[in-house]
Chain A
């Protein structure tokens, strides 16, 4: 394949061309209630060409790998329609690297019967819990080999293997339906889905408890987030704002995102990077062939870095950070997060809640979303905090904030750290992209909680 790719890229008149070819195999199993709903296997082969001419991009994606040269020519002709400026890409060194797969426990080596057996065990646990109405279990693995060649002379082969398990238990009283769930995942380690029996039991019990829990009254509260939800908070509240494609051509955003701007108190440190090993957002090269890094985004409360593709870095006169990612061959790479972390501080959980008269302890996650300035993130589980103690359980809550005030309202950062490996990120029609988020417990003052 390498020869054909390199041959197709030779001898064109364009500022930059790259080609990505992928082969993938995926397995999925899902249960709805007691019944197995879906089990299937899918295979895909496809590729794309992206060309840059005078600052304009052309992009062609396809399944058939015939006539690659024609596809390159089509991408260049598209780019010519657009190009009217100067192409600016941050310089990177050409790389030739065949990265061997490094999977702790490759799901391809696990028989389908074993995978189904684990899910059957989880389903038995759920159904042995009284008052459960139903449940959803979704398992998936996707093993993918990606070949990348570019006109600067790079050729890279990499593999990744995304493993995910999502489980939701539904409890019901009359027409009132409540649910509790969790999701876990890994890059190339099937064993993470094998040992969740205790977690499944806990999920079933919590779903049942939730039916009798009250709703929170909407308003401002001091909120303590557990590491899982704090990771989602970090991703939504600040992570997306650090993606430079929102910034690089927007003069007002550039002003807002000036290096040195204070976003939080000196206890706040945030970083992102695919070079942090062993996580779901980890890789060696991004989808533009740029070596992964670890970028400090906020140091002691102050903006010190951002995430780049080659183009956003080139136009802002900064270095490429290896954050250009595409979910698959059908899409061009765009600036994305990888593994995003709030670094641990020194406050114990007990101290964090000790002086809260009335607050909310929010745990686990349903989801999150941002518009850059304002964002929401939702907890899967919540409790009132009263007089320094965890009190009654609540129905799940949706929390909301504004990046310019909420980050500054973080006044305590825990001495623990938890990673959420079960998330997927969506942007620009590309979803779900494997990412991880991590954080210690954090405390936020005056956080807006929706209620009814």
Chain B
């Protein structure tokens, strides 16, 4: 059965209906222990049906187009118990500016080329540290998405993506050092050698192990650490669902100063060839570039249709969904604006402190309340304005709303995993403790 036929069938038994179709084809190439280990081909499709029947939401999903009758029946059964619908399905796709997220050349990249790219990265690491053990993954993905509903909406687009990641493990006695970097884009527009060189730089900085600076010390978060430690609690707090329930610490603070003046956070789905970019969200609502926190002042939250309906506001075009789940509010592409001082200046300004590049378990603990904390997997000591070596067996803990109050941001920004562009962020007082 086609998805149009599923919609027709659903319209006969419900007041409103929507069919969300998505498919993907991944071709990952994997290296283990410095050599090629596997080549894969992963294909999948998903069809999700959402209906509004007698004012309630019904939902069912399947991977089988030949089971359309079962799909409709399941959604109808569910609708008896479903949440009260607080929205109507959009009829017009609006007139959003086109967003480039597909490049046909990705599909044509041969496996052999992907193998060569992976080997080139590993060779750079091996040249620097012959004992290193590398894992490397290179993936191309072609996906498509189509959304049709009973109000006449019909939007569809294709998305390509190309991603690479490398992780090196360097073991001396029982000391284990993990280094690595990653990149993702809708096309192959980045240089894999740069990724390998970033990793080599980590190896250089981590050469010596030095004692940690403990107590309340200045901590410089790299863009990668900004994502896992600082941004994750903010994204949860900006989610309209948590705002609605007032479980978000930001729920009552609209218009208030919640971070340093230099701190501006955007959701910008319009960036061309960034994997999170999109013209429409997963409910067919046009997306928009929005400031969420502007010059430290809380400016807005993330909403999908249902959450916005419950909150008495309108969707911000932030609905996201996996093939088998209802949509929920989510950020598309996070942009934190750069600051005024260079990264080197920030480092030079630190008498005794720590650089956090990666924490293990940063997302544990009371993230909803804004807490972050974890064991320093990759981090360095700064003494008298210079990086002096690697710090380990050290806990870093804090609350994002406290540490962002007097944060300073670097001029340089970097992309993290095709989702976040962020500067280095220096927080003057973060609690650290250590076994040493």
Which A residues fall within an 8 A CB radius of B? 26, 29, 32-33, 35-46, 56-63, 74-75, 78-79, 81-82, 84, 112-113, 116, 133-134, 170, 172, 175-179, 218-220, 249-250, 252-253, 256, 330, 332, 366-378, 395-398, 400, 402, 404-405, 446, 448-452
Contact = CB atoms under 8 A, between A and B. Distances in A.
Nearest to B248: A177
A374 B393 contact: yes
Nearest to B250: A175
B41 interface: yes
Contact of B83 (A38, A81, A367): A38
B247 interface: yes
B207 interface: no
A38 B361 contact: no
Contact of B246 (A172, A367, A402, A405): A172
Contacts of A45: 63-64
A249 B33 contact: yes
Interface of B: 32-33, 36-45, 59-64, 67, 70-71, 74-75, 77-78, 81-83, 111-112, 115, 131, 133, 169, 171-172, 174-176, 178, 241, 244-250, 252-253, 310, 324-326, 360-361, 363-366, 368-370, 373-375, 377, 392-393, 395-399, 401, 430-435
29 contacts: A33-B244, A37-B83, A39-B81, A39-B82, A41-B59, A44-B64, A44-B324, A60-B41, A61-B43, A78-B111, A82-B37, A133-B246, A219-B433, A249-B133, A252-B171, A252-B172, A366-B365, A369-B360, A371-B176, A371-B178, A375-B360, A377-B364, A395-B366, A398-B374, A400-B393, A402-B393, A449-B433, A450-B374, A452-B373
A63 B38 contact: no
B230 to A, nearest CB: 14
B38 A59 contact: yes
Most chain A Cβ neighbours within 10 Å, of B81, B82, B112, B131: B81
Contacts of B32: 249
B374 A178 contact: no
Contacts of A253: 171
Contacts of B38: 56-59, 78-79, 82, 332
The 10 tightest CB contacts between A and B, nearest first, are A376-B361, A218-B433, A450-B395, A249-B33, A252-B171, A134-B245, A378-B364, A450-B397, A452-B431, A40-B59
Nearest to B256: A175
A133 B176 CA distance: 43
Given A38-B326, A448-B433, 9 more contacts: A35-B83, A57-B37, A60-B42, A78-B111, A79-B38, A374-B392, A395-B366, A398-B364, A452-B373
Nearest to B45: A63
B77 A450 contact: no
B174 A256 contact: yes
Contact of B325 (A40, A74, A134): A40
Most chain A Cβ neighbours within 10 Å, of B175, B245, B374: B245
A39 B59 contact: yes
A208 B151 CA distance: 45
Nearest to B327: A38
A374 B83 contact: no
A29 B325 CA distance: 11
A177 B366 contact: yes
Identify whether the interface residues of B are mostly helix, strand, loop, or mixed.
Answer: mixed
B433 A44 contact: no
B171 A449 contact: no
Most chain A Cβ neighbours within 10 Å, of B111, B133, B397: B397
A36 B81 contact: yes
Contacts of B45: 63
Nearest to A28: B325
A434 to B, nearest CB: 18
Contacts of B133: 249-250, 252
Contact of B67 (A33, A43, A81): A43
A452 B397 contact: yes
B74 A41 contact: yes
Given A38-B326, A371-B360, A404-B174, A56 B365 contact: no
A436 B75 CA distance: 33
A41 B396 CA distance: 41
A36 B82 CA distance: 7
Nearest to A30: B326
Contacts of B434: 448
B397 A451 contact: yes
Contacts of A330: 42, 44
A218 B433 CA distance: 6
Contact of B431 (A368, A448, A451): A451
Given A38-B59, A44-B324, A60 B33 contact: no
A378 B365 contact: yes
A140 B176 CA distance: 38
A199 B242 CA distance: 24
Contacts of A451: 397, 431, 433
Contacts of B241: 32, 37
B115 A218 contact: no
Contacts of A450: 373-374, 395-397, 431, 433
